[in-house]
């Protein structure tokens, strides 16, 4: 149950942004680094936690304002999405700079565990597994479908037509479906390599 709640929290942030943004991670690193199990696993210092708390608060405040504008005005939605993607890329880099190289490597393993195959929308992850052009194109198509469905789920919630619980369940089910679709694009050798990149299980 605890793991499901953490995954849903991370997914909500991931789906708030474009998976094809400049940042390699399809999720928000500052938010991920705010989860206590992740902090404990990375053995973050008090100073690192303080710096990350400040970054996360700043990031969420900016994204919250822009997202509200995009939801309120359909014409403003494309620019809002672009602005959010830009913020995410900037704050992801700033958050990663707080970590040591060893912590950054471990964080990558944790992201793969928590996001599953959906992290393969990341260009660096695609290169790491040596995906070909057809695989990259197919994953891009799947990602575009995910963003469209996620936007519909969020709109239904924001319009008061679904509960927060229903929204979280729908987003979680969407992530599972998209993850399976993306994973299916990998060759058997790529799947073995992928499993080797997830590292030790995060203790929740």
Digit-coded pLDDT (tens) for 42-98: 999 999 999 999 999 999 998 888 887 777 777 777 887 788 888 888 999 999 999
Question: Whole-prediction pTM value?
Answer: 0.76
Q: For residues 80 and 70, is the Cβ–Cβ distance under 8 A?
A: yes
Higher-pLDDT residue of 61 and 13 is 61
Nearest to residue 182, comparing CAs of 148, 154, 145, 152?
145
Residue 63, Ramachandran bin (φ over 0: left; ψ between -120 and 50: alpha; else beta): alpha
Say if residues 110 and 202 touch (Cβ distance below 8 Å). yes
How many angstroms separate the CA atoms of 117 and 191, rounded? 10
C-alpha dist (Å) from residue 27 to 22, 32, 74, 150, 192: 12, 8, 23, 14, 24
The secondary structure element, H or E, covering residue 71 is helix 46-72
Angstrom distance (rounded) from CA 136 to CA 119: 12
User: What CA–CA distance (Å, rounded) separates 178 from 201?
Assistant: 22
Q: Is the pLDDT of residue 11 over 70?
A: no
Report the alpha-carbon distance of residue 105 to residue 197 in Å, rounded.
10
Q: What is the pLDDT of residues 144-179, one digit of tens each?
A: 898 888 888 888 888 889 898 898 899 889 988 999
Q: How many Cβ atoms from other residues are within 10 Å of residue 164's Cβ?
A: 8
Q: 56-65 long-range contacts, Cβ below 8 Å, gap at least 24? A: 56/30, 56/31, 56/95, 58/91, 59/28, 59/30, 59/31, 59/87, 59/88, 59/91, 60/30, 60/31, 62/87, 63/16, 63/87, 63/88
């Amino acid at each position: 149950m605890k793991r499901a709640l953490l995954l849903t929290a991370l997914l909500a942030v991931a789906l708030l942004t474009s998976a094809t943004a400049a940042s390699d991670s399809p999720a928000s690193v500052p938010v991920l680094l705010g989860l206590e199990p992740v902090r404990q696993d990375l053995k973050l210092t008090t100073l690192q936690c303080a710096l990350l708390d400040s970054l996360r608060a700043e990031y969420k405040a900016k994204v919250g304002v822009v997202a509200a504008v995009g939801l309120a005005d359909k014409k403003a939605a494309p620019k809002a999405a672009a602005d959010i993607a830009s913020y995410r890329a900037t704050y992801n880099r700033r958050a990663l700079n707080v970590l040591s190289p060893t912590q950054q490597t471990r964080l990558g393993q944790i992201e793969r565990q928590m996001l599953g195959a959906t992290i393969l929308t990341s260009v660096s992850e695609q290169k790491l597994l040596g995906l070909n052009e057809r695989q990259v194109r197919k994953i891009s198509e799947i990602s575009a479908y995910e963003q469209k469905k996620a936007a519909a789920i969020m709109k239904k919630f924001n319009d008061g037509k679904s509960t927060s619980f229903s929204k979280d369940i729908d987003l979680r089910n969407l992530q599972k479906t998209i993850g399976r679709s993306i994973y299916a694009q990998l060759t058997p050798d790529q799947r073995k390599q992928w499993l080797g990149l997830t590292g030790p299980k995060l203790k929740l």
